[in-house]
Amino acid sequence: MIYLLRHGETVWNTLGRFQGQKDSPLTARGIEQADFIAKVLCRELSEDLRSFEIQVSPLGRTRQTAGRVKRALSLVSIEDTRLMEVTAGSWDGMTKFEIDSEFPGALDDSDVFDWYFRSPDGERFDDACNRAKAWIADIQRPTVAISHGLFGRIIRGVYAGLSKGEMLELPVPQDGFYRLHEGDFSFIDGSSSVTGSARI
């Protein structure tokens, strides 16, 4: 059983910058999102809480989110570099407009979902999938994982056996989290319980 969280909203999220493996801090809204998710997660895990461990991407925004979550769950966390966001190399920290200006033609024929992988020195899609597969294979106990938007898509997609197109179009909310169980995943937002599944 894996509960997969995305970090709260960051300053660069609001500016349309792809953070990759660079960083920006959580906004006030991002802190509120992390606190809200922590409360929902605590209620969701309830009696099974002590059987879980927390694994966190070592980037600042995920560590900041983890700090808020740990206050509610009182669990020790470990950092795992495999949970880091996909890097677009020299494009990390840039907007699509800036990329198009500095690298003319590089985004031609790309779409809103696959442009990250057009970077000449960024992580390749297959490499990111292999990283996700390796992390999933090493899970030994119920786990709360705090990761990122794009890499969270890839984790869910690999876990559920989705195609590249299907996984890159998955939503990346910051006001809920995903439960991965028995080859499928569902979204939990705190208003009730499950609000979606891998196939919608």
> For residue range 58-76, what is the model confidence (pLDDT) as tens digits?
999 999 999 999 998 888 8
Q: State the chain's mean pLDDT as an integer.
A: 92
pLDDT bracket for residue 191 (50, 70, 90): low
Is 198 inside a domain boundary?
A: no
Domain count, the chain: 1
How much is the average pLDDT of 165-191?
A: 93
Question: Which of 9, 47, 85, 148 does the annotation list as catalytic?
Answer: 85
123 in catalytic set: no
Q: How far is CA 118 from CA 85, 113, 136, 151, in A?
A: 16, 11, 26, 16
What pLDDT, in 10s, does the model give residues 94-144?
A: 999 999 999 999 999 888 888 889 999 999 999 999 999 999 999 999 999
Is 109 inside a domain boundary?
A: yes
Is 18 inside a domain boundary?
A: yes
Q: What range defines the domain where residue 128 resides?
A: 2-188
Is 196 inside a domain boundary?
A: no
Is 172 inside a domain boundary?
A: yes
Question: Which of 7, 9, 123, 148 does the annotation list as catalytic?
Answer: 7
53 in catalytic set: no
Is 155 inside a domain boundary?
A: yes
* pLDDT score for 157: 98
Is 8 inside a domain boundary?
A: yes
Is 195 inside a domain boundary?
A: no
